[in-house]
Amino acid sequence: MSTSGVTPMVEAIGVHKHYGGVVVLKGVDLSVARGEVTCLIGPSGSGKSTLLRCINHLEKHDAGELRVDGELVGYVARGGKLYELNDKQICGERAQIGMVFQRFNLFQHLTVLDNITVGQVKVKGIEIEVARAKARQLLARVGLENKEKHYPSQLSGGQQQRVAIARALAMEPKLMLFDEPTSALDPELVGEVLDVMKDLAKTGMTMIVVTHEMNFAREVANTLYFLDGGVIEESGDPRVVLSSPSSDRLKSFLSKVL
């Protein structure tokens, strides 16, 4: 719980994660208010994507506490102990959290329209025609209304990523997670994806974005966290952090990416 008494949309307290003998997250604390955009930056291997995957329980954290909208992620507390939720309950949690991956993760055998429709029908039980109408609205929102009959292989990377965003939004999530959504794109396609994300931020969607796009972080984010070696080295207003970094590690990192 935040000191203001308002429950954050996302709260991490002392989160640890290791793979075998490799410790990836070393006690991460993070808080994301409702309606805010938070950017995670840092070198490869710093733990950014792992933290993101722990937030929707694609990875299990080993220690600490993770909450989304006040509820524990992946677990329920009973009698002072934590018990992991079953697969159905975890899927129910995950359906409320949109995730956009670096490599799109679209279903290659389905059309664009069906990619956006399938989750609504199979997970949420929405009637097919209602789901298709919603999918068409979202395609118009991301500027792809004329691509509904195309297959992913017929689209550019930027178009595929915009479909992936539309697919995530179709589930009406309370939170959107973006894992380096532009890093697999040709440079000239990056802008069209960032524009969709900027518009989404304006609607008040809570977003956590792992990114190397510093201009996006500076322009859109409310808070920026710099991770290095599994810990948060620095955080704050992105305009301040990026223009006047206090840690030597962040200064070194920014000298290579700006």
**Cβ neighbour number for residue 126 with a 10 Å cutoff:** 18
**CA distance to 18, 202, 205, 216, 221, per residue, from 198 (Å):** 33, 6, 10, 8, 10
State pLDDT tens for residues 60-99: 999 999 999 999 988 888 888 888 888 888 888 888 999 9
Tokens of 200: 């989404």
Q: What is the pLDDT of residue 87?
A: 87
Residue 4 pLDDT: 55
Q: What is the mean pLDDT of residues 19-28?
A: 94
Tokens of 75: 């677990």
223-228 vs 231-236, strand pairing mode: antiparallel
> How many beta carbons lie within 10 A of that of residue 203, not counting itself?
9
User: pLDDT at position 137, please?
Assistant: 97
Question: Cα dist. 197→21, 53, 178 in Å?
Answer: 37, 19, 9
- Place 1 in a pLDDT band, splitting at 50, 70 and 90: very low
Q: pLDDT tens digits for 141-193?
A: 999 999 999 999 999 999 999 999 999 999 999 999 999 999 999 999 999 99
Of the two residues 109 and 1, the one the predictor is more confident about is 109
